[in-house]
Amino acid sequence: MFSRKKQPPIKSLVAHGTRIDGNVLFGEGMRIDGEVVGDIRSGTEQPSILVISETAQVEGAVHADHVIVNGTVTGPVHAAELLELQPKARITGNVHYKALEMHQGAMITGQMCPLAVVADEKPPLQLSSKTAAPESPTALQ
């Protein structure tokens, strides 16, 4: 999704030294350098990107298509497309992702849950549980 297409623009910023208490709904792109206590969610049907910088602290669930973490997140992280964990990323909570890029030094305290890729894969091969019965010796005569 993001490898060949232009990334969504970052239109929102929570600056260093700023604290938000409450849920945050953003469109297209958002960067967090400060602190958010509450859930952060993309509110559009368009591709979204969320950047949680080295100085950022988030306490709550995170939901976006492309999530880049280099700060601290306490809560579950849901990346519908790509989750990038940079060297100073610290996540306490389960992470859900379609694709994962994890740099040396990043830490997750929780379960890693890859999302099933259904649309891009071929349907699973169904093997028959029935086996052919051997022919009886009388039928060969």
Which band of pLDDT confidence, cut at 50, 70 and 90, is reported for residue 52?
Answer: very high
For position 118, what pLDDT does the model report? 45
SS3 138: helix
Q: How many CB atoms lie within 10 A of CB 75?
A: 18
Residues facing residue 92 across a β-bridge:
74, 109
User: Which comes out higher in pLDDT, residue 38 or 46?
Assistant: 38
What is the C-alpha R_g of the chain? 22
Q: What is the mean pLDDT of residues 98-108?
A: 97
Q: What is the mean pLDDT of residues 54-76?
A: 98
For position 5, what pLDDT does the model report? 64
What's the pLDDT tens digit per position in 91-101?
Answer: 999 999 999 99
For position 119, what pLDDT does the model report? 47
For position 116, what pLDDT does the model report? 79
pLDDT at 108 over 50: yes
Mean pLDDT of the chain: 87
What's the pLDDT tens digit per position in 109-134?
Answer: 999 999 975 445 555 556 666 555 55
